[in-house]
Structure 1
Amino acid sequence: MWTGVALAATAAVFLVVRSFRPAPLPAPAPWTGPLPQAAPPEGMAIFQLPTGTYENRAALAYRGGSFGDVRRFAATAVLVQHPAGDLLIDAGFGAGVEAHIAAMPSYRRTPHELGATVDEQLRAKNYDLGRLRGVLITHAHWDHVSGLEDLDVPIWMNPAEGRYVERAKDAALFRGIAGRRQVHSYTFDGPPYLGFPSSHDVYGDGSVVIVEAGGHTDGSVVVFVSLPDARRFAFIGDLTWQMEGVTLRAERPKMLRVLADVQPARVREGLLRVISLADRMHVVPAHDVHAYDPIPRWACATTRSL
Structure 2
Amino acid sequence: MTHRLNLVLLALALLLGGPFYWLLIDNHHAPAPAHRIDIAALRQLAASQAGAAPSGVEVECAGFRRVPGNLMVAGSGIKRKLVCYMAFRLPVPGGKPVMIESGITAADASTGGAERFNANNQARIEAELDLAGLILVTHEHADHLGALAAHGGPALMDKTLLNPAQLPPSPFAARLEWKAGQVPPARLPGNRLVVVAPGVVVIPAPGSHTPGAQMIFVRTGDGREFLFVGDISSFAQNWQEQRGRSRLVQLFFAPENRAEVFGWLAAIRDLKALVPALVVVPGHDFEWLLDPKNNGGMVIGFAHRGS
TM-score bin (small chain): 0.7 to 0.9
Distance 1:267 1:283, change over 3 A: same
Are 1:29 and 1:276, in contact at CA under 8 Å, matched by a contact in 2?
no
Are 1:232 and 1:282, in contact at CA under 8 Å, matched by a contact in 2?
yes
Higher share of residues assigned helix: 2
SS at match of 1:287: coil
Q: Determine whether 1:225 maps to 2:218.
A: yes
TM-score (norm 1): 0.74
Q: Deviations over 1:148-190 (max 9, x none)?
A: 233541142101222xx4252x44552x22554351522338x
Q: Deviations over 1:250-303 (max 9, x none)?
A: 111223222323322211112211111224211111111134332113443387
SS at match of 2:139: coil
Unaligned runs of 5+ in 1: 1-6, 190-196
SS at match of 1:236: strand
Letter in 1 for 2:73: Y
SS at match of 2:133: strand
Q: Deviations over 1:9-51 (max 9, x none)?
A: 9678514414533648899999897463233726633211221
Distance 1:43 1:255, change over 3 A: closer
How big is the shift at 1:52? 1.4
Q: What residue number does 1:36 align with?
A: 43
Q: Determine whether 1:199 maps to 2:193.
A: yes
Q: Determine whether 1:74 maps to 2:84.
A: yes
Task: Please give the alpha-carbon distance, in whole angstroms, between the structure 1 residues aligned to 2:74 and 2:161.
Answer: 32
Q: Determine whether 1:157 maps to 2:162.
A: yes
Q: Determine whether 1:268 maps to 2:259.
A: no
Which deviates more, 273-282 or 212-221?
273-282
Distance 1:262 1:47, change over 3 A: same
Distance 1:59 1:41, change over 3 A: same
Task: Please give the alpha-carbon distance, in whole angstroms, between the structure 1 residues aligned to 2:121 and 2:305.
Answer: 19
How big is the shift at 1:70? 1.4
Task: Please give the alpha-carbon distance, in whole angstroms, between the structure 1 residues aligned to 2:267 and 2:303.
Answer: 33
SS at match of 2:57: strand
Structure-to-structure mapping, 1:29-178, within 5 angstroms: 34=40, 36-37=43-44, 38-39=46-47, 41=52, 44-67=55-78, 69-82=79-92, 83=94, 85-94=96-105, 97=106, 99-102=107-110, 104=111, 108-120=112-124, 123=127, 129=130, 131-148=131-148, 149-150=150-151, 152=153, 153-154=156-157, 155-162=160-167, 165-168=168-171, 170-171=172-173, 173-174=175-176, 176-177=177-178
SS at match of 1:156: coil
* RMSD (CA atoms): 3.5
Distance 1:128 1:60, change over 3 A: closer
SS at match of 2:233: coil
Letter in 1 for 2:229: I
Task: Please give the alpha-carbon distance, in whole angstroms, between the structure 2 residues aligned to 1:17 and 1:144.
Answer: 30
1:238 paired residue among 221, 231, 240: 231
Letter in 1 for 2:303: C
Task: Please give the alpha-carbon distance, in whole angstroms, between the structure 1 residues aligned to 2:302 and 2:166.
Answer: 31
Are 1:50 and 1:76, in contact at CA under 8 Å, matched by a contact in 2?
yes
How big is the shift at 1:77? 0.4
Identical residues among aligned pairs (%): 19
Distance 1:265 1:12, change over 3 A: farther
Structure-to-structure mapping, 1:2-17, within 5 angstroms: 14-17=18-21
Aligned residues: 272
Q: What residue number does 2:286 align with?
A: 289
Task: Please give the alpha-carbon distance, in whole angstroms, between the structure 1 residues aligned to 2:38 and 2:164.
Answer: 32
Task: Please give the alpha-carbon distance, in whole angstroms, between the structure 2 residues aligned to 1:114 and 1:156.
Answer: 26
Distance 1:268 1:221, change over 3 A: same
SS at match of 2:188: coil
Are 2:88 and 2:100, in contact at CA under 8 Å, matched by a contact in 1?
yes
How big is the shift at 1:218? 0.6
How big is the shift at 1:202? 0.2
Q: Determine whether 1:21 maps to 2:32.
A: no
How big is the shift at 1:133? 3.0
Letter in 2 for 1:269: G
SS at match of 2:201: strand
How big is the shift at 1:142? 1.4
Task: Please give the alpha-carbon distance, in whole angstroms, between the structure 1 residues aligned to 2:133 and 2:186.
Answer: 13
Task: Please give the alpha-carbon distance, in whole angstroms, between the structure 2 residues aligned to 1:91 and 1:33.
Answer: 27
Are 1:246 and 1:278, in contact at CA under 8 Å, matched by a contact in 2?
no
SS at match of 1:246: helix
Q: What residue number does 1:4 align with?
A: none
Unaligned runs of 5+ in 2: 1-10
Are 2:232 and 2:264, in contact at CA under 8 Å, matched by a contact in 1?
yes
Distance 1:136 1:43, change over 3 A: closer
